[in-house]
Amino acid sequence: MYRIIILTFLACTITLQAQTFKVAQQLCTDGNSRPYVVYTPKSEGAKPKPLLVFLHGAVATPQVNANPEGYARKSPLVAIAESADCFLLFPFGQKGAAWFDHVGQQMVLDEIAAVQHQYPIDPNRIFLSGFSDGGSGVYYFAMTHPDLFAGFIAMNGSLKVASMLGEEELFPCNMNQKPLYILNTTGDSLYPLEQITPSIDFLQKENPNITFKIPIGDHFLSYLPQEQAGIVTFINSHSRQPLTHIVWETSDISRINRIGWLQLQTLALDQERAPWHTLYPEVKIQNNKADLGVKYDYTYKGKGMRIAGFKNDTVTAKRLGAKEGDILIALERDSIRSPMAPMRYTTKKKAGDPTELTVLREGTAVVLKGNFNQGYPYTLLKHQHKTAKIEAEIRGKEVYVRTSRIGTYEIDRRQTPVKIKRKVKNLTDKP
């Protein structure tokens, strides 16, 4: 009997070591199950390892990825996980469970908890990374759930997108100066550097622990092998530190009401702001990006790309005369030979530049000429409501707090890194 048990255990152990990728399901708060994939590095041993979480792009698609394991196997993040000797988690989101809403965020947090339960994960070395929508999701998590992570890696993301799509208003102080490694490429037509750089400058005023890298490339991860060493060094150089100083600003605590050992119970938004509670400046960024404004039918398999619709009624393509159902076959002299052709074309253009579209309409080629729409300024962060703010600091075995528009709050003494013996004191009285 014991021999059978031992042999069974050995067989399971061998299988586990050979199983590099594992697909699992997570029951989400909307009642739907969604897949996730865990990659186990080849190195053996029971010593706890870091966990790298990767948020994919195009998270607004209606359907979840039909082949999650295939996606994970092709990911360039696997090489980084091997080099850093860390586990790698691939959550899979979709419209209604994105990185910017409560369902998607809770899904990611629950999957991290499940992986921690199943694998030897170092709880102080969990890193969140992402590309495109995933990179924007990294910004969103960094300002809504910073306390779980040792650091953040945002690749080709946009703070503007995180703010625009997020359920929560975003405040850079909520990062609490967590390490953030940002990569945006020289030729990204979706998020041009001329728009990204001002947003990073803005963040660095609030968080000195930001590294900003500008690899040569476009809106793809082809640059990742050249940047691998820097990312691995970032992972190896950071671990989550005891939370002794918290700054938190919010306009709503119905979904997120705590960070670490500090819980907000009620807000008092009808009160005046405290003198130390200053508002963020309104950062304006000029959008000079050339954009056709077209939504494509990616199920179409013929020549060119079929137009499924438009982002709004005033976009360039519709203003020039394009119609839903048209087949886009050329942009000036550039034939449409792949789904990436329009993006490559607009990379070479600016707002207001001349353009020429050739479409097939009922079998007849129609040439549409004109100019891209003019550029416009936009506000980086949406701040539409009154906010409350709290700052709490542990010094020795005492907690010092100051508040602005906070009704009631609680210090969870079971969660503090040291035992707090005395009553909470006013932060202005801190020695």
Q: Are residues 149 and 93 in the same domain?
A: yes
Identify the pLDDT of residue 12: 37
Identify the pLDDT of residue 429: 67
Is the pTM for the entire model greater than 0.85?
yes
Do 290 and 315 form a contact (C-beta atoms < 8 A)? no
Select the more confidently predicted residue: 7 or 392: 392
Q: Which residues pair with 11 in a beta bridge?
A: none
Residue 180 lies in domain:
20-241
Last residue of a domain, one of 355, 374, 393: 374
Residue 162: give its domain's CATH number: 3.40.50.1820
Last residue of a domain, one of 209, 241, 273: 241
pLDDT digits (tens, 9 = 90+) for 295-329: 999 889 999 999 999 999 999 999 999 999 999 99
Q: Are residues 232 and 326 in the same domain?
A: no
pLDDT digits (tens, 9 = 90+) for 50-76: 999 999 999 999 999 999 999 999 999
Please compute the mean of the pLDDT values over residues 336-348 and round it to a whole number.
Answer: 90
Q: Are residues 92 and 30 in the same domain?
A: yes
Instruction: Please check whether residue 332 lies inside any domain of the structure.
Output: yes
Q: Are residues 231 and 301 in the same domain?
A: no
Residue 341: give its domain's CATH number: 2.30.42.10
Question: What percent of the chain clears pLDDT 70, i.e. is strictly above it?
Answer: 95
Instruction: Please check whether residue 105 lies inside any domain of the structure.
Output: yes
Q: Are residues 348 and 233 in the same domain?
A: no
Q: Which residues pair with 220 in a beta bridge?
A: none
Q: Are strands 262-267 and 406-411 parallel, antiparallel or unpaired?
A: antiparallel
Please compute the mean of the pLDDT values over residues 13-27 and round it to a whole number.
Answer: 71
Average per-residue pLDDT for the chain: 94
Q: Helices 77-84 and 224-237, interaxial angle, to 10°? A: 40
Indicate the number of domains in the chain: 2
Instruction: Please check whether residue 383 lies inside any domain of the structure.
Output: no
Q: Are residues 81 and 197 in the same domain?
A: yes
Nearest of 90, 24, 15, 17 to residue 51 by alpha carbon:
90
Phi and psi at residue 179, to the nearest 5°: -60, 135
Q: Are residues 191 and 324 in the same domain?
A: no
Q: Edge-to-edge, what's the strand order for the sheet holding 398-404?
A: 245-250, 388-395, 398-404, 425-426
Q: Are residues 64 and 154 in the same domain?
A: yes
Where residue 1 falls among pLDDT bands split at 50, 70, 90? very low
Instruction: Please check whether residue 86 lies inside any domain of the structure.
Output: yes
Please compute the mean of the pLDDT values over residues 5-18 and round it to a whole number.
Answer: 36
Q: Are residues 222 and 312 in the same domain?
A: no
Last residue of a domain, one of 177, 211, 241: 241
Q: Are residues 316 and 235 in the same domain?
A: no
Q: Are residues 218 and 357 in the same domain?
A: no
Instruction: Please check whether residue 199 lies inside any domain of the structure.
Output: yes
Instruction: Please check whether residue 14 lies inside any domain of the structure.
Output: no
Instruction: Please check whether residue 415 lies inside any domain of the structure.
Output: no
Identify the pLDDT of residue 17: 46
pLDDT digits (tens, 9 = 90+) for 167-204: 999 999 999 999 999 999 999 989 999 999 999 999 99
Token couple for 186: 């020289």
Identify the pLDDT of residue 431: 58
Q: Are residues 41 and 156 in the same domain?
A: yes
Where residue 422 falls among pLDDT bands split at 50, 70, 90? confident
Please compute the mean of the pLDDT values over residues 342-365 and round it to a whole number.
Answer: 94
Query: DSSP string of 90-143?
Result: EE--BTTB-TTSHHHHHHHHHHHHHHHHHS-EEEEEEEEEEETHHHHHHHHHHH
pLDDT digits (tens, 9 = 90+) for 218-265: 999 999 999 999 999 999 999 999 999 999 999 999 999 999 999 999
Instruction: Please check whether residue 8 lies inside any domain of the structure.
Output: no
